[in-house]
Structure 1
Amino acid sequence: MRDRLAAAPNGVLEAVAAESNVSLLTVTECLPDGLRAFASGETAEAAMLDMAEWGTVTVLVHSADLVLECKGPLPRGQFGRGFYNLAGGSPIGGHIRLDRCRTVGFVRRPFMGSADSASVVFFNGDGEAMFKVFVGRDDARQLLPDQVERFEALKARLCGAPGQTA
């Protein structure tokens, strides 16, 4: 799997996981070192609070039956009644069982014809994505440079050295 992903890291990782009968986290761990880094799920709230300052992002939920995307600013949240509750004022809202997050992944790679994509992936204990937050794009479909800087800074803060797990 490592060789396959090193040769072609731009496919749908969920499809690779399904074909290989492994978790998305296992597939993501097989990406080349420079394309991924991991932090403990204990850093999930810190990641969410940081991303709430980024501006418009895309939140994606991918299941076997659905790929749902929502664009907008990620609201600040707080814990209550067993959930991390996202505040109102954005198209993005809801209630997340953030305590179920075991790993926060930072993935930056080419994807389906785009030169670059960058996402923060929240993995549960089964190694599946709870949801992903993608760095925003401009009208020319290029990643927003200020968000890329914030992504890289958050990754460095939560993960330490590239490709390492905190």
Structure 2
Amino acid sequence: MSAALADEASRLRAALAAAPDGVLEEVARREGATYRAVLDALGPDQAAAVPGERFEEVWSELAGWEGEITFIVHTADGVFETRGRVPPGAFGRGYFNIHGDSPIGGHIRAERCAAIYFVDRPFFGRRSCSVQFVNRDGGAMFKIFVGRNAARELDPAQLARFEAAFRRYAGA
């Protein structure tokens, strides 16, 4: 690792320690870093990275989860959230096409996915678990969060599936 990258990683770890449950995009913006660099600065107990080439494998796993997740697209212009099941998908005509009985649908340029992160960290005082897809430019493509029940507690079945996947991918 170059000295510049080591300095950036150190600076990002300090920023995360100062605001351990804040918005990661805000940390990236404030520190002049990519979103991926911020994810890479999380500790091994908070993030496990998977190569983007495993996109279809990870998506298929998520499509097997029972219940609703929260699907988030966070851009500089807004944060868009949709609740629903992760629908199945398949490659065709240059896209990974997602379809099914869910409000989540569309066409993803999966070849632009550089990495997928399983992230387990606090967010404004509550445990938050998500699977975050990051593009080749280091930005977030979208995020899939473990669902919550009416009491705003993490869905136990989804949480168990998330934790098992986190351990499996962290050990890979």
TM-score with structure 1 setting the length: 0.92
String of CA shifts for 1:26-64, please: whole Å, max 9, x gaps: 011112221111011111111111111112101100000
Match of 1:84 among 96, 105, 117: 96
- 1:153 aligned to which of 139, 164, 169: 164
SS of alignment partner, residue 143 of structure 1: coil
- Alignment partners' CA distance in 2, 1:19 and 1:44: 29
Number of residue pairs matched? Answer: 160
* Higher RCO (CA-CA < 8 Å; seq separation 6+): 1
Partner residue of 1:101?
113
| Matching of residues 9-158 of structure 1 within 5 Å | 9-54=20-65, 55-113=67-125, 115-158=126-169
Secondary structure class of the residue paired with 1:136: coil
Q: After the TM superposition, list the runs of 4 or more consecutive aligned residues in structure 1 that deviate by more than 3 angstroms.
A: none
Larger gyration radius, structure 1 or structure 2: 2
Long gaps (5+) in structure 1: 161-165
Equivalent pair of 2:96/2:109 in contact (CA under 8 Å): yes
> What's the % identity of the aligned pairs?
50
TM-score, normalised by the number of residues in structure 2: 0.89
Equivalent residues of 1:59, 1:70 under 8 A apart: yes
Hey, which of these two has a bigger chunk of helix by percent? Answer: 2
- Secondary structure at 1:122 match in 2: strand
Cα separation, 2, equivalents of 1:126 and 1:145: 34
Q: 1:120, 1:133 within 8 Å by CA — same for their partners in 2?
A: yes
Question: For residues 47 and 159 of structure 1, what CA distance do their matches in structure 2 show?
Answer: 13
Flag structure 2 segments of 5+ consecutive residues without an equivalent.
Answer: 1-11
* CA shift for structure 1 position 7: 4.0
Q: CA RMSD in A?
A: 1.2
